[in-house]
Amino acid sequence: MQNCAICHGENGDGHGVRSVGMEPPPANLTVPPWSDSASAAQTYRAIHDGVQGAAMPSWSTLTDQQIWDLVAYIHSLGEA
């Protein structure tokens, strides 16, 4: 919530308060590929390295465990 919700929204749907006018818009984390556990490595890399050509920054300051915890949380968003 602290670092992600401002862009991805409290529900992970890409509608955070900072998302207005972003091009490309923040990812909707509630749908594949982000919510798909088969894409865990892709999700990990997006968090760790950022996404080139998008406003998604690198979160390499997070530990590996924190990033994997986020990946698990993102996957849970698709189960709702």
The whole-number pLDDT of residue 41 equals 96
The answer to whether the beta carbons of residues 8 and 29 sit under 8 Å apart is yes
Residues of the chain with pLDDT under 70: 80
* Domain residue extents for the chain: 5-77
The whole-number pLDDT of residue 2 equals 86
Maximal CA-CA distance, the chain? 32
Q: Tell me the C-alpha distance between 44 and 78, whole Å.
A: 16
The whole-number pLDDT of residue 66 equals 97
For residue 12, CA distances in Å to 24, 33, 40, 76 come to: 16, 13, 16, 10
- Please give the radius of gyration of the chain, using alpha carbons only, rounded to the nearest integer: 12
How many residues in total does the chain contain? Answer: 80
The whole-number pLDDT of residue 5 equals 95
Write down the pTM of the prediction.
0.89
